[in-house]
Amino acid sequence: MALLSFSRSFTLLSSPFHFFSSRSIRRRRSFVCSLSTATDVRSRSAVLWFKHDLRLDDHPALSAAETHRFVLPLYVFDRRILSRYSDDMLELLLFALEDLRNSLKEQGSNLMIQYGCAENVIKELVKEVKATDVFIEEEVEYEMRQLIGVVKKTLETSSSLDWNLDIVMWRTPFYDVKNLKELPASYNDFKKQKLLPTSPLLPATLPVVETELDWGPLPTFSDLKEFIKEKLGKPEESWNLMKEMPAEVLLKENLSKSSETIPKSLNDKSIEQRRRDKSVFVTRKGDIVGGGTNTLLNALAAYLRYLEGTARDDWQEVHERLRNAETREGASFTSLFGPALCLGIISRRRVHYEAIKYEKERNAGFLSPFGYSAASVAAAADAVCSMEWFWLLALKSQVSNEGLYSIRIWRWRGHLIQYTVVGLEGPAILLVHGFGAFLEHYRDNINAIAEHGNHVWGITLLGFGQSEKPNIVYTELLWAEMLRDFIIEVVGEPVHLVGNSIGGYFVSIVASLWPSLVKSVILMNTAGNVIPEFSSHRFTSERQTSAAARLGAQLLLFYLRLNIRNTLKNFYPTKTNRADDWLINEMLRASYDPGVTVVLESIFSFDLSIPLNYLLEGYEEKVLILQGMKDPLLDSKAKLAILKEHCTGLAIRELDAGHCPHDEQPQKVNSIVCEWVVAVERKLTANSYSRKNKKMTP
């Protein structure tokens, strides 16, 4: 039985079917009613705001709204939402909206298309159709939650609404989690609860729309791109262009080894031809599944049945793309279906349901306790279970105040990333952790540096901490691109980049490839080599993982779990007490997350062949090296000697610390970083003033 809960606060409740929380704007009331017995629902009207739920299948809000007298499905082209999408995602969005509109028309309804700020559009439509309910899907991303907050505030403070209006927050629960605040921090503990995935809902049928309305046209791709760019300034537009050039291509160009061509796409047909052929690969690149829900379900059926083979052309095409996308075992599912899942064209629990249904078909109705019988089933089921776990962690971080810092969520290429920010003004400083760590590793740095008048950002990289750990091939260039996009999309201004260990190497790549994003670089016990007289290198991005790497990752994980306390204490030779229970428990927690062994595999495929002396060229007097001289991982004296010899204009500070000086000697490091930033900012201001005067001189 579906439950609809209205309350003044956004209490997190759930049933095996779905969750609702609603807020009444004009009056206070709190009750729970069964949709099947409620007598007042059919007199109500609703606006249903589609965002990342572009489907009729398994849609709890539609199921609740179908008993209303009138329902207005709405999609708003809001630049604040669209600017987060890549071109592929924009194309996918347009195809999904076209299918959604056609599906609604078949029911006698329609999808209204509007442009502008969502809060203003929704407010005007609520007035026009006299809506009594506004259905809004819950989000975990910080910017989306802020936008929803603006929509709610606009509706609450609108003086033109003289009737009772309920804002109904909803989500599609994968598991029947009774109390989100009691969600275990460890995936290992979560699995012990043995919660079964809930069942998906059948497609909803909305009431026929009898009111004359202007439903609005769907834009073309080019029109949509122009709409997004319309309000962008030149600096923003030029920064956005950076994201379109892969780091690999840019690095090859910089190394003057661009004779190698970019891998050719399988896109050998035009979009129009693929549509005529009923292809599920509808975007220009033709490498991700797109279209509507039924198209996705067809592609999923083909994916799951890969081992069976097929004579169907559309299924053969899926199998071909599967093989191309299988960069490591199971990675093809996220590559092919991840964007569509992000837009909600198909729900995670529908994918799981279809995968398990097929698995039972293969095994006479049974599920083996020893694993799935087909690799494609395992890839699909494991991927959506992993996505749901990290979504729950992200949502919990947004509704509770636990942890050292206020956590925000950023979605990068469909994956959930944790970050924090402290300080409202001053120079922007981005802190990047090392391998196996997370943003809280800067526990005694973030606030202290911000208190000196800085705007401090900390991020947990993809694959670490409580950020998502998708089944992909992790490389140093991937993490560098992530930092680039974070600076462009979230920070929004050039930064002073601070990196520890391998994070220092990622920072150096960002500084080399996208210098306009970086004011200065601070490297703390950084990874990376120095190669004298380095001029060129044949760089390759071939990182196909091997069985040896997978075995090595599993053995390394087993070793680290057993020896993490002693290992960490070796990293803190002068203050072993800093390797405390909190730090150890946080690292152990992350070690049980789904996907962690995939991340560890990257250790065996890192390519650090581009040396620091090459990456830091052009940063004379803008690079600070902080070196813990008791680092157990390398000879600190030898490293500093070669850096001094082959990297000009470096500032070097030696510290009585190990591999993580920022956490072992936080007061000293904080003081040095703040002094450095002040000095660099003065030079930048002076240089800017000098250039300005030269331009003004006749």
Q: Within 10 Å of residue 30's Cβ, how many Cβ atoms?
A: 12
Q: Is 557 exposed, middle or buried (0-12, 13-18, 19+ CB in 10 A)?
A: middle
Q: How confident is the model at residue 43 (pLDDT cuts 50, 70, 90)?
A: confident
595 backbone φψ class: left, alpha, beta (φ>0; ψ -120 to 50): left
Place of tokens 């629960």: 173
SS3 of residue 445 by DSSP: coil
pLDDT of residue 1 exceeding 50: no
The CB density around residue 624, as the number of other CB atoms within 10 Å, is: 23
Show the tokens assigned to 89: 């995602």
Q: How confident is the model at residue 405 (pLDDT cuts 50, 70, 90)?
A: confident
In sequence order, what are the residues at sequence separation of 6 or more whose Cβ sits closer than 8 angstroms to the Cβ of residue 367? 356, 359, 360
Residues 287 and 284: their CA atoms lie apart, in Å, by: 8
* C-beta separation of 111 from 74 below 8 A: yes
pLDDT tens by residue, 428-446? 999 999 999 999 999 999 9
pLDDT band at 693 (very low <50, low <70, confident <90, very high): low
Cβ 545 vs Cβ 606: under 8 Å = no
* 161: confidence class by pLDDT, cuts 50, 70, 90: confident
The region of weakest confidence among 11-25, 163-177, 482-496 is 11-25
How far is Cα 540 from Cα 537, in angstroms, rounded to an integer? 9
Assign 74 a pLDDT band (cuts: 50, 70, 90): very high
- DSSP of 55-101, one letter per residue? -STT-HHHHHHTTSSEEEEEEEE-HHHHTT--HHHHHHHHHHHHHHH
pLDDT of residue 34: 30
Burial 433-459 (b: 16+ CB within 10 A, else e): bbbbbbbbbbbbbbebbbebebbbbbb
The overall average pLDDT reported for the chain is 88
Secondary structure of 243-306 in HEC code, one letter for each residue: CCCCHHHHHHHHCCCCCCCCCCCCCCCCHHHHHHCCCCCCCCCCCCCCCCHHHHHHHHHHHHCH
Phi/psi for 347 (5° steps) reads -90, 155
Each residue's pLDDT tens digit, 449-508? 999 999 999 999 999 999 999 999 999 999 999 999 999 999 999 999 999 999 999 999
Q: In 3D, which of 666, 674, 667, 636 has the Cα closest to residue 652?
A: 636
- pLDDT at position 698: 57
pLDDT band per the 50, 70, 90 thresholds, residue 552: very high
Q: DSSP class of residue 630? A: T
pLDDT in tens, 638-687: 999 999 999 989 999 999 999 999 999 999 999 999 999 999 999 998 87
Q: What is the DSSP annotation of 347-408?
A: -HHHHHHHHHHHHHHHTTT---TT--SSHHHHHHHHHHHHHHHHHHHHHHHHH---SSS--E
CB count within 10 Å of CB 288 equals 21
Helix pair angle (142-156, 118-129), 10° resolution:
40
Let me know: does 350 contact 359? Beta carbons within 8 Å.
no
Among 584, 174, 214, which residue's Cα sits nearest to residue 386? Answer: 174
Contacts of 105 (CB under 8 A, 6+ apart): none
Q: What angle do CA 205, 209, 212 make, to 5 degrees?
A: 160
Question: What's the confidence (pLDDT) of residue 285?
Answer: 86
Provide the pLDDT confidence category of residue 259 given band limits of 50, 70 and 90. very low
Residue 243: half-sphere exposure toward Cβ, Cα within 13 Å = 20
pLDDT at 689: 64
pLDDT at 237 over 80: no
Q: β-strand 19-24 against 45-50: which pairing, if any?
A: unpaired
pLDDT value of residue 93 = 97
Residue type for position 292? G
pLDDT attached to residue 662? 98
What domains does the chain contain, in order, with CATH numbers?
41-171 (3.40.50.620), 278-402 (no CATH), 410-532+607-686 (3.40.50.1820)
Query: For residue 475, what are the β-bridge partners?
Result: none
Q: What is the mean pLDDT of residues 321-350?
A: 96
Confidence class for position 542, pLDDT limits 50, 70, 90:
low
Joined together, the tokens standing for residue 62 give: 């539609």
Q: Which of 135, 110, 80 is nearest to 217 (CA)?
A: 110
Residue 158, pLDDT score: 86
